Amino acid sequence: MKVKEVRKSLVTTGYEKLSHLDFKKRGDYIEKRVGEFYYFIGFGVVDLQDLFHSSFYFGIGSSAVLNILKEIYPNKDFKKEKYHVLYSNKQTRLFDEGLVDKPEYSIKNIDDVIYMIEEISGYYEEKIFPFLSSLNSLKKVSGFVNYDENVKQQSSYLPITLKTGLILARLTGDPYYSSLVNEYKDLIIEWPEFDKNDLEKVIRFLKNSTVEELKKIAGITEV
């Protein structure tokens, strides 16, 4: 098998296992849309010549937040994006936290793919998807992203996590939004100027927009 074949087999087999939950195939992902929210699962594959190592990642995205980002960054090309990722996690972190018993799977053939999907689809369906589904409003996602410390600690790129959190907080009328702004500025005080300036750009845009204006940009009426 080649990397492309392994990834295709993972996506196809994963889709077959989760199609009863209305997941669809989308390129290298398995994806389910519920209103403005998108639930996704993807697979990392590493070619070690005589075998492959693979692990999964997952998350939730929002088309509403993407619409706001398009307004903040009018010169950026968002054509290939359907949503902005609000929260994501991966198998290696779950392993570090003792939530799964292995950080990755070894794959040599289709039987190994089936074994991997059997294990992770069961865990996803029983543990992950119910949790993600409980974040069924932007207000709930905002509460999780902004006030669960693990989200920031696990972030693969903190400035994006903080920008996402501020957009969610302002959009949902979080009364502690101003406190979050000050906290997040402090969190990246030692980051490069580009990241600090980018955060300031988002803050300025949100400051100059009312909640109702943000809802209109986002294309929603409820949060």
Please report the pLDDT score of residue 134 as a whole number: 94
pLDDT digits (tens, 9 = 90+) for 86-116: 999 999 999 999 999 999 999 999 999 999 9
Q: How confident is the model at residue 79 (pLDDT cuts 50, 70, 90)?
A: confident
Please report the pLDDT score of residue 1 as a whole number: 82
Please report the pLDDT score of residue 50 as a whole number: 86
Please report the pLDDT score of residue 80 as a whole number: 84
pTM for this entry: 0.91
Name the percent of the chain lying above pLDDT 90. 86
Q: How confident is the model at residue 62 (pLDDT cuts 50, 70, 90)?
A: very high
Cα separation of the two ends of the chain: 46
Catalogue the long-range contacts made by 40-45 (C-beta closer than 8 Å, 24 or more residues apart).
Answer: 41/14, 41/124, 43/7, 43/10, 43/11, 43/14, 44/90, 45/3, 45/6, 45/7, 45/10, 45/107
